[in-house]
A and B are shown apart, each in its own frame.
Chain A
């Protein structure tokens, strides 16, 4: 998941786990491999549908892998150990609750595919279901959130790779973003989904190897004994703070998944009937990742690893126990987890730019040809990558707060989306009102209690949706063919 995104390694100079030459070689090696695969798979993309939604024919294997890989961000592997070191078992389990976002999206995926089998984006659905005003408001929320997630992932790439190998921050950001831009540019959704499949396997195998090697050095009983003696609170699985983290992660996760085009475009890319199974299986695949990664944080006190920077506890434990091999493993896992999220964001956000921003502007004029759309799609991917690089360059200290700010915004979108997908009584005015006031109150609350923004935004929006449906109900008769709107 992307919440809490860039709270990563913050003292890059304090002891790298790999020589920088290794870092550069690994980045170049994997980068070139992804680009080559993007070019190879890009040959399949003959039409706009191929490029943006992989021909709408993605099977269960690729569908499961891409959903799991996209939800495994750098935070899942880097921040979960920090949660475990700070809040123990409860922290790990709270982090794992984010899998419920994917699980609950499973029935939505089926509904999305049924309602708009030829559609492209989440914003397109909101526009066709609730009208232009609701579409515009939802587009603003989606673009703000999507770009903030993209920038935080780019920043995480620079910071983590610098801390692991000493590669300068700006080079790390530049290489990660450039590699993702290039293979998405050449291969579109085929490249995104194909590389996601390989990246998901690398991440899963990588964290298992690290955990098994650590367990071979120190048995669980010894880790438990040390924690019971020195940090007994870490062995508790229910703490007030972990309950708070649980509900915050849960709602933010729901908002992130339910509204984001990253997940909608995958639902539209999967073959009919595949979406629900793929998202449910992806939730199960993702569920243990924070637990296994978090185990490294839990093991740190028992291993006497000097944790000068708690944000780096996972990589530090891996490097301490496994030396250069551990460093390489962690570097590869983090690189893959970041790339699998950035490529998805580039593809999904550029979809919004060409289908929603352009479509609104050009409604009265002649619709663009397929060749024009593909050219614009590629330009959007380049501009998004460039924008993410430029915004990431100053290395903002508080960008994660902006992502948390979006908690209220994305939370306010949950009730109208659900009412629009599964109900018939909510109209456009009600959707606009719910999103507007839900977002406003959520943001105001965020200024006082950041962890309540998503909860309050969702609650206010949900209440308004319920009231509006009761006092000004409408009867929705069905969506028009989305293809008529943009193609």
Chain B
């Protein structure tokens, strides 16, 4: 069946939230790193 269980749903949503948090942290990290290296723009 193509229906997903509660565990898979939990993983999907948790993964989505974690990726959003990591995405935000990645952007902050890259911007700070560029700023320190004077390569922001």
Contacts and interface: CB of A to CB of B under 8 A. Distances in A.
Contacts of B27: 61, 64-65, 68, 197, 200-201, 204, 285
Interface residues of B, number: 31
Task: Classify chain A: how many residues form its interface, as a range.
Answer: 35 or more
A207 B17 CA distance: 9
Contacts of A281: 26, 30
A204 B20 contact: yes
A414 interface: no
Contacts of B16: 211, 288, 291-292, 295
Contact of B9 (A60, A207, A235, A238): A235
Greatest chain B CB density within 10 A among A64, A212, A220 is at A220
A163 to B, nearest CB: 24
Greatest chain B CB density within 10 A among A236, A292, A295 is at A292
B24 A61 contact: no
A272 to B, nearest CB: 12
A284 interface: yes
Interface in A189-223: 190, 193, 197, 200-201, 204-205, 207-208, 211-212, 215, 220-221, 223
Contacts, number: 114
A61 B40 contact: yes
A89 B29 CA distance: 32
> Chain B: interface secondary structure?
helix
B39 A271 contact: yes
A61 B34 contact: yes
B41 A190 contact: yes
A58 B40 CA distance: 6
B17 A288 contact: yes
Contacts of B12: 89, 291
Given A238-B2, A281-B26, 20 more contacts: A57-B39, A58-B41, A60-B34, A61-B40, A89-B12, A204-B24, A220-B10, A235-B3, A235-B9, A236-B4, A237-B4, A285-B27, A287-B19, A288-B15, A288-B19, A288-B23, A289-B20, A291-B12, A291-B16, A295-B16
30 contacts: A57-B41, A61-B27, A61-B30, A61-B33, A61-B40, A62-B31, A62-B40, A62-B41, A64-B26, A65-B31, A89-B12, A197-B27, A197-B31, A201-B27, A201-B28, A204-B21, A204-B24, A205-B24, A211-B16, A224-B6, A284-B19, A285-B26, A285-B27, A288-B15, A288-B16, A288-B20, A291-B15, A292-B13, A292-B16, A292-B17
Interface of B: 1-6, 9-10, 12-13, 15-17, 19-21, 23-24, 26-35, 39-41
